[in-house]
Chains A and B, each alone.
Chain A
Amino acid sequence: MSAVLKMPDAARGNLPGHRVLLGTERKLLLDCGVGFGPYTLAYQTYGALNAQRSNAILVCHALTGDQFVAEEHPVTGKAGWWATMVGPGLPLDTDRYFIICANVLGGCMGSSGPMEINPATGKPYGLGFPVITIGDIVRSQKMLIDHLGIDKLFCVIGGSMGGMQVLQWVSSFPDNVFCAVPIASSARHSAQNIAFHEVGRQAIVADPDWCGGNYLEEGKRPHRGLAVARMAAHITYLSEPALHRKFGRALQDRAKVTYGFDADFQVESYLRYQGSTFVDRFDANSYLYITRAMDYFDLAAEHGGVLSRAFTGTKVRFCLVSFTSDWLFPTPESRAIVHALNAAMANVSFVEIQTDKGHDAFLLDEPELDKVLKGFLEGCAEHAGLKRG
Chain B
Amino acid sequence: MRVDLQVIADMIEPRSRVLDIGCGDGALLDYLGQFKQVDGRGIELSQAGVNAGVAHGLSVIQGDADTDLKDYPSDAFDYAILSQTLQATRDPRQVLQELVRIGRRAIVSFPNFGCWKVRVHLFRFGRMPVTAALPEKWYNTPNIHLCTILDFVELCDAIGIRIERGMVFTKASAGRPIRSKRIANLVGEQGLFVLQRR
A342 within 8 A of B: yes
Query: Chain A's interface: helix, strand, loop or mixed, by majority?
Result: helix
- Asked whether, in the complex, the Cβ of A351 is within 8 Å of the Cβ of B54, the reply is yes
Q: A345-B73, A349-B60, A351-B50 are in contact. Are A371 and B55 (CB under 8 A)?
A: yes
Tell me the chain B residues, 32-89 only, with Cβ under 8 Å from chain A: 39, 41, 47, 50-51, 53-63, 68, 71-73, 76
Q: A342-B72, A352-B47, A354-B47 are in contact. Are A347 and B59 (CB under 8 A)?
A: yes
**CB proximity of B163 to chain A, nearest CB, Å:** 27
Q: Which A residues are in CB contact (< 8 Å) with B62?
A: 350-352
Q: Which A residues are in CB contact (< 8 Å) with B51?
A: 351, 353, 368, 371-372
Q: Which B residues are in CB contact (< 8 Å) with A352?
A: 47, 50, 62
For the complex, what is the distance from the CA of A302 to the CA of B119, rounded to whole Å? 59
Q: How large is the interface on B (under 10, 10 to 19, 20 to 34, 35 or more residues)?
A: 20 to 34
Question: What residue in chain A is nearest B69 (Cβ atoms)?
Answer: A342
For the complex, what is the distance from the CA of A347 to the CA of B63, rounded to whole Å? 15
A375 partner, pick from B47, B54, B61, B72, beta carbons under 8 A: B54
- With A347-B59, A352-B62 given, can you name 20 additional A-B contacts, CB distance below 8 Å? A319-B54, A339-B68, A342-B68, A342-B71, A347-B39, A350-B50, A350-B60, A350-B62, A350-B63, A351-B47, A351-B50, A351-B54, A353-B51, A368-B51, A371-B51, A372-B54, A375-B57, A376-B54, A378-B57, A382-B57
Q: What is the interface of chain A, defined by CB distance below 8 A to chain B?
A: 317, 319, 338-340, 342-343, 345, 347-354, 368, 371-372, 374-376, 378-380, 382
Some 29 contacts from A to B, beta carbons below 8 A apart, are A319-B54, A338-B61, A339-B68, A342-B71, A342-B72, A343-B73, A345-B73, A345-B76, A347-B41, A347-B59, A348-B41, A348-B59, A349-B54, A349-B58, A349-B60, A349-B61, A350-B50, A350-B60, A350-B63, A351-B50, A351-B62, A372-B54, A375-B55, A375-B56, A375-B57, A376-B54, A378-B57, A379-B57, A380-B57
Q: What is the interface of chain B, defined by CB distance below 8 A to chain A?
A: 39, 41, 47, 50-51, 53-63, 68, 71-73, 76
